Amino acid sequence: MALPEQIQELFQCSWPVLLLGFFIARLLINKYGGNLNSIPGPFFAGFTNIWRVLNTLLSNPTETQIQLHRKLNSNFVRIGPRVVSISDPKLIPTIYGIKSEFTKTSFYSIAELWYEGKCTPSLFECRDEAYHAQIRKPLVNAYSMTTMIDFEPAVNSTTELFMSKLDHFVVSGEPLKLEVWLHRYAFDVIGEILFSKKLGFLESGTDVESIMAGIRAFTQYLSVAGQIPIVDHFLLKNPLMLRYGPANPIVTFTLNRMKERAAWKASRGQTKRDFLERCLEAQAKYPEVVTDRMVMLYNFDNIAAGSDTTALTLTSLFYYLLKNPATLGKAVEELDCADKEGRLSEYVTWREARKLAYLQACIKEGIRNSDNCALCVGMHPPIGLILERHVPKGGIVLGGHYFPEGTIVGVNAWVTARNKEVYGEDCDCFRPERWLEASEEQLMAMERGNLAFGYGKRGCLGKSIALLEVSKLVPQLLRHYEFSFTRPELEWKLHGGWMVRQEGVEVALRKRT
């Protein structure tokens, strides 16, 4: 038998063994070949990212990462072959700061939209820092708190409608699903800010065009597929899906609202100084950057993320105030005192709310607090996964560990805000007083450790929107209503992932006299 025929026969008989050998070799390289084997973590996580997929799909990655850092007593935990979770707040400026050379990973590329035949990154998922700066510049002022304050009348009108809906529950005695109605409120505020129009969530008491469900499905997909981003090319971004699949419901929703806004302007010949109008002004000034496509993407980001972060923050704050009656009492006492002294308007303004020191401490602690497991009784940032970044060219030493370039590192806001050195031994507890008792140096450290809205040049531009709504709505509702759990013995349910969603915050309402 000729030698080539022998080789061919051997291969035909042995290809399963060769394939298995290649698979085993690949796993061993993953585990031991990346200079990360000295970093503790789950044994199987070092071999394959499938561990991360299963943890995100079947468990709560937020809870898992908190427990791992504590159990292993380490600021560094390996959660993938080339992925490390970091809990040291002092490293946040290095990884996410203005001058940082760390870049976003392909996790974020999954959120890129296929629209009109191509994918284009928006502010959120853009990985090219130069391009991000280019598309951020035209509208950075539109997100400032100075601009947001101009929208206070719009927030007030939405709050008025919301309170009329709450009055129905007062009269009827029906239990209120607080997390659901706060989400509807946040959506209608976003509608007013973007398009000068409430989107119908409060008025109808429904999920308009099923957009809430669409966003929830999208973030769940991002959470799971993002652990192995290449699978996105075989799922939502495979050629058949892109060509024949249904349109993205969030894109459709955004385009419909933009068309309604354009029709209103055409019929009345008037201009409203909402976010969309600011986009069009930026387009006139920067036509090569702010294309029609980019205008859609700006508004898409606000709809997809703006309502969620605000609603989750509001729900967390109310939940913990109700779980801590003494704290709630102090907050209400501060409000009543300000009311009696004539320091509050009919609808609390941003500037008035900023002067309510205890309320502001409650808001900071509400952003920082949650009850996601028996281990923890504090901390609820909206984002529940590490904010992934690639180690820059040449590698870097962090906390005494060398990380080769391309390694994925990141900080989970839930983990870093439970750092006892920064927040104290009672960091798992909801205690707003920590923000009032802290020294200036300690306060700076606590602020730096708060990743609820990101950090640095890639921080959440919608932070001002969320803080405006929270600072205005919370005191307004506490002035007029008494909230109580319908079943105080029950805890809420948290669903971990990119957005940590709450369920089961059911309350009864009474009017305050």
Cβ contacts of residue 381 below 8 Å, gap of 6+?
367, 368, 413, 414, 417, 450, 451, 452, 500
Q: Distance between CA atoms of 242 and 118, rounded to whole angstroms?
A: 9
Cα distances (angstroms) measured from residue 259 to each of 119, 194, 196, 215, 276:
22, 12, 13, 21, 11
For the chain, what is the largest distance between any 2 Cα atoms, rounded to a whole number of angstroms?
103
Q: Are 485 and 207 in contact (CB under 8 A)?
A: no
Cβ contacts of residue 313 below 8 Å, gap of 6+?
366, 367, 380, 382, 452, 466, 470
Using left for φ > 0, alpha for ψ between -120 and 50, and beta otherwise, residue 269 falls in left
Measured at the CA of 512, the angle between CA 167 and CA 178, to 5 degrees, comes to 50
Query: Can you list the alpha helix ranges (DSSP code H) found in 270-356?
Result: 275-285, 292-301, 307-323, 325-340, 350-354
Measured at the CA of 446, the angle between CA 445 and CA 447, to 5 degrees, comes to 90
Beta bridge partners of 441: none
Contacts 24+ apart (CB under 8 A), 180-184: 182/311, 182/314, 182/315, 182/318, 183/212, 183/307, 183/308, 183/311
Q: Are 98 and 217 in contact (CB under 8 A)?
A: no
Q: Is 337 annotated as a binding residue?
A: no
Measured at the CA of 470, the angle between CA 464 and CA 473, to 5 degrees, comes to 130
Cβ-in-10-Å burial (0-12, 13-18, 19+) of 487 comes to exposed
Annotated binding-site positions: 460
Annotated binding-site positions for heme: 460
